C-alpha cells in the first residue's frame, strides 16, 4: 500500500513538473554609478575645432593612438575613468590640390575602420548630420553585437578638415550588459557633434604645452 501511494505521488509530481510553464529571468544590468554632467569647452590651439564635453571626461594627448603613431598634434583621447572607457580622436588635414582624393580616403577609412574593429558585429546603422551654416557634415555609426567599438563618428567640413572618433571600453565586449553605459556616453558624444565648431587653424600657431 505504501509503495502504491509512493508511486502515485511520484507520478503526480512529475506531471506537475512537466506542466509548469518556465518563467524567463529578467535581464539584469550591472549596477553603475553614473557621473554628473557639467559641460565645458574643448578648445586647443593646435586643433582646428572646438566642442562641448562633460567634465567627467579627461583630456589626454598621446604620441600613440590605437597602436598608431600620431600623424598630427591633434590626435588625442578623452578618457572616462569612472566608466572604464575612452574616446579616441584623430584629425586629418584634407586641404590642398588632392582634396577630392583625401576626402574619399577619409570616408573610405571610416567604413574600413568600422568593419575592422567590429568583426563580431551583428548589425550596423548609420545616421547623417548636416549643418550647412557651420559647414559641418557628420556620419555616426551605431554597431550592434559584442564589439570593440559600439559607437563612432566622422566629422568633416568637406574642404580642409576631417575628424574621426571611436568609443572603446576596457572590458570584454558584451552588448547586453554594456547597453546602458553605451547609451549614457552616447548622449555626450551626440552633444559633442551638436556643439562642434570649426576654428581658424594655422600651422604657424604655436603648439601649447600641456
- The pLDDT of residue 163: 93
Q: Sheet containing 123-131: which strands, arranged edge to edge?
A: 58-61, 76-80, 85-93, 161-169, 151-156, 136-144, 123-131
Q: What does the buried/exposed string (b/e) look like for 62-95 if buried means 16 or more CB atoms within 10 Å of the residue's CB?
A: eeebeeeeeeebbbbbbbbeebebbbbbbbbebe
pLDDT tens per residue across span 20-47: 555 555 554 557 889 999 999 999 988 9
Residue 59 confidence class, pLDDT cut points 50, 70, 90:
very high
How far is residue 90's CA from residue 107's CA, in Å, rounded to a whole number? 13
Q: Is the pTM of this model over 0.75?
A: no
Residues in the chain: 210
Which residue from 139, 147, 141, 144 is spatially nearest to 193, judged by alpha carbons? Answer: 139
CB 167 within 8 A of CB 189: yes
Exposed / middle / buried, residue 97 (Cβ in 10 Å: 0-12, 13-18, 19+): exposed
pLDDT tens per residue across span 94-112: 876 544 554 445 455 544 5
How far is residue 199's CA from residue 202's CA, in Å, rounded to a whole number? 10
- The pLDDT of residue 147: 82
Question: Which domains, from first to last, does the chain contain?
Answer: 39-198 (3.40.1000)
Average the pLDDT over 141-159 and give the result.
Answer: 88
pLDDT tens per residue across span 184-210: 999 999 999 999 999 864 433 433 434
Amino acid at each position: 500500500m505504501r509503495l502504491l501511494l509512493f508511486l502515485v505521488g511520484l507520478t503526480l509530481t512529475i506531471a506537475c513538473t512537466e506542466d509548469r510553464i518556465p518563467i524567463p529571468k529578467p535581464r539584469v544590468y550591472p549596477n553603475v554609478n553614473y557621473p554628473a554632467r557639467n559641460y565645458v569647452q574643448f578648445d586647443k590651439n593646435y586643433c582646428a575645432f572646438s566642442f562641448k564635453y562633460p567634465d567627467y571626461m579627461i583630456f589626454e594627448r598621446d604620441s600613440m593612438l590605437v597602436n598608431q603613431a600620431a600623424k598630427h598634434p591633434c590626435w588625442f583621447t578623452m578618457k572616462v575613468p569612472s566608466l572604464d572607457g575612452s574616446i579616441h580622436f584623430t584629425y586629418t588635414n584634407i586641404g590642398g590640390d588632392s582634396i577630392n582624393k583625401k576626402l574619399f580616403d577619409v570616408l573610405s577609412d571610416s567604413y574600413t575602420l568600422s568593419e575592422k574593429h567590429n568583426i563580431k558585429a551583428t548589425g550596423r546603422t548609420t545616421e547623417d548630420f548636416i549643418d550647412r551654416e557651420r559647414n559641418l557634415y557628420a556620419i555616426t555609426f551605431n554597431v550592434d553585437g559584442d564589439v570593440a567599438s559600439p559607437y563612432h563618428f566622422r566629422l568633416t567640413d568637406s574642404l580642409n578638415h576631417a575628424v574621426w572618433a571611436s568609443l572603446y571600453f576596457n572590458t570584454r565586449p558584451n552588448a547586453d550588459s554594456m547597453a546602458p553605459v553605451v547609451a549614457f556616453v552616447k548622449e555626450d558624444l551626440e552633444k559633442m557633434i551638436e556643439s562642434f565648431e570649426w576654428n581658424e587653424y594655422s600651422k604657424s600657431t604655436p603648439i601649447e604645452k600641456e
